[in-house]
Structure 1
Amino acid sequence: MAKGRNNLLGVGGQRKTLSRAERQGAGPARDIDRKAAEDKKQELVRKMRERAAAAEAAPAQDAPAES
């Protein structure tokens, strides 16, 4: 029987070198979350601009014409 039979070091291949962010649990999923947050922000900004443009146009149409 081999002397180091309970020592399984090296079995299963080498480990991937992890970046600091991946070690803290924020790997590739973090990039996806960041992209989703950016998309939501862009959509919100677009809606706000549309509402602001509509609010500016509405009083101009409702105002009586001065002659």
Structure 2
Amino acid sequence: MAKSRNNLLGVGGQRKKLSRAEQQGAGSARGADRKAAEDKKQELVRKMRERAEAQAATTAEPGEQGTPSAQS
């Protein structure tokens, strides 16, 4: 069936259904899951930066050792 353009029911968005625990103020597990995912992402970014810095330091060392006049 074709979608009716004259029916504006629900145009403003819909509220999500609250669980019984959320209604009583216990909060959702979604917030904790998001926090855990953000922590994992931050840890991964930190590790990647450390590896990149170590890689840059490793590639920069031979060039610095080969030119003693550059340090004078």
Pairwise TM-score range, normalised by the shorter structure: 0.5 to 0.7
2-side partners of 1:42 and 1:21: how far apart?
31
Show structure 2 runs of 5+ residues with no match: 1-14, 20-26
Greater helix fraction, Structure 1 or Structure 2: 2
Q: Which amino acid aligns with 1:38?
A: E
Give the Å deviation of 1:21. 5.3
- Measured in 2, the distance between the counterparts of 1:40 and 1:61 equals 32
Cα RMSD after superposing both structures = 2.1
Which blocks of at least 5 consecutive residues in structure 1 are unaligned?
1-18
Tell me which residue corresponds to 2:35. 35
Q: 1:44 to 1:31 in 2, by over 3 A?
A: same
Higher alpha-carbon deviation: 27-36 or 57-66: 57-66
The 2-side partners of 1:45 and 1:21 are apart by: 35
Indicate which of 16, 20, 25 corresponds to 1:20: 16
2:53 — aligned with what? Answer: 53
